[in-house]
Amino acid sequence: MPELLCFLNGRFIPLSEATIPVNDLGLQRGYGIFDFLRVTDGAPLFWEDHLDRFYQSAEMMRLSIRYSRDEMRSIIKELLQRNGLANAGIKLLLTGGPSSDGYQMTGETNLLISEQLIPPPPDTIFLPGYKLISYEHQRQVPEVKTTDYLMAIRLQPWVKENGADDILYHQNEMVSECPRSNFFIITKDDRLVTPAKNILKGITRKQLLAIASNIGIHAEERAISLNDVRNAKEAFITSSTKRLIPVTQVDDIFFAPFSEVSVTARLYNAFKEWELSAIHGYR
């Protein structure tokens, strides 16, 4: 298979040839943002939402994007055509740019758009699901998709030692998110609840809240305590690459086994249909 191309600062080049100067704030201080969207059957899923978030993140971090939205769409389309991957992931990465002292911003930035081969999610929901382990932590600037994953990466050995699949962050007993996923619970009266604050508002999360309304499931964005988690009937996580994954356990809290009649199953099946509509809409 030929080497995949990427887009770096105005040029389409082989990914192995893409370089960013060592004085870039992305390397020196970890100052940068990114977004990641899934491509299915050649269609970039929910890409307008991803672009919304990317531009919003750049504005909040005071980083300039030298390309308009129309230009960004054209770049992504051309990259998809040149690489010819039906199922892939597109990563938009914007770094803080060169800095003479490793601290001050110059206003310049580096934009890298890369593509990688990833298999599509399975047609059936991932089972047996995930075990999460909670950890007290609050990400900086949580509403921005920054490149800072310091805590999540540092904790990976601890996660494995505890036989878990991922981390659930909380602060002062209030749950927020997983490092790369949003967290949801289903209450005993079948309400869908997800944290409202101190989180990155995921694109799959956004779609799911709309889907819930369409299929008659009451959805709430509000604070969730660890006690709320303990009293929940179901739990799951969402992300662009995972769709929905049931959560079977958080610490010593166990949830009912996943079944085809669960609220999680209804949402998963509805999301797959929603995704197909997005694919057809792109074409």
Q: Which of 140, 157, 169 is nearest to 30 (CA)?
A: 140
pTM: 0.95
Q: 5-8 and 192-194: which strand pairing?
A: unpaired
What pLDDT, on a 0 to 100 scale, did the predictor assign at position 1? Answer: 67
Token pair 């911003």: residue: 105
Phi, psi of 215 (to 5 degrees): -105, 15
5-117: which CATH number, 3.40.50.1220, 3.50.50.60, 3.30.465.10, 3.30.470.10?
3.30.470.10
What pLDDT, on a 0 to 100 scale, did the predictor assign at position 121? Answer: 85
Contact 263, 215 (CB under 8 A): no
- Spans of the chain, pLDDT less than 70: 1
> Which DSSP state fits 98?
B
Calpha distance 76→56 (Å, rounded) = 18
What pLDDT, on a 0 to 100 scale, did the predictor assign at position 281? Answer: 85
CATH of domain 130-282: 3.20.10.10
Sketch the domain layout of the chain as residue ranges: 5-117, 130-282
Tell me the one-letter amino acid at 190: D
